Amino acid sequence: MVLPDGSNPTTSGASDDEVHDAKSNAVHALAKKIARHFPTVPVTNCTALRRDALDVTVVDVRQPDEVAVSMIPGSLTAAEFEARKNDLKDKTVVCYCTVGYRSSAYAAKLRSAGIEAKNLEGGIVRWSQKGLPLVTRKDGGEEQETKRIHVYGPTWALQPDDYEPVMFKSAFVATLKSFLPKWGGRKK
């Protein structure tokens, strides 16, 4: 495991706690960097989201391939939210992605449309680091708990050891794929 700063605590003789702390610190650093890019987007954390769960709409802005692996329980995909946006416009929206960049961009877009939107600090990776449940949706919408998490690419494979990371074979291809609809390309 190589952290975004280039270090590798697993080969340096670090204890499990030190590896956990290094991963947590890496996500925190990424979240701070993302917040600087989106200064008008407020953030919320996992504790606040769980406390306020009944008063917010949680939106997973990741690609369908990522969402198919796992998501935060009770969340909507961006497509589901867009289809129901008028019914949900009076609720605060909490957006998430892998670590927060794409969800910050989506929250900024919602805010510019007059919708109260926040970003989940650290995204689904931080959620997993807190030991909170992830689910996969079965046909019919039933949610089943899972320990798999789509981490987009190796840089963001900062999940706890008891979670199985899933990633795109090429983060570059995944990034291009995420922009296709914006550029007039294929839509799923």
Helix 16-37 with 101-112: angle, nearest 10 deg: 30
CA distances from 170 to 10, 74, 155, 177, 182 (A): 24, 29, 12, 11, 20
C-alpha dihedral (105, 32, 27, 114), degrees to nearest 10: -30
pTM of the full structure: 0.79
> For 85, phi and psi rounded to 5 degrees?
-55, -45
Q: In CATH terms, is domain 16-179 a member of 3.30.420.40?
A: no
The DSSP H or E segment spanning 136 is: strand 134-137
Alpha-carbon gap, residue 118 to 71, rounded angstroms:
17
**Average pLDDT of the chain?**
85
pLDDT of residue 188: 42
> Over the stretch 8-43, which tens digit does the pLDDT of each residue have?
555 556 787 888 888 988 888 888 888 888 888 888
Q: What is the residue extent of each domain of the chain?
A: 16-179
Nearest to residue 101, comparing CAs of 28, 24, 175, 34?
34
Mean pLDDT for the stretch of residues 90-106? 94
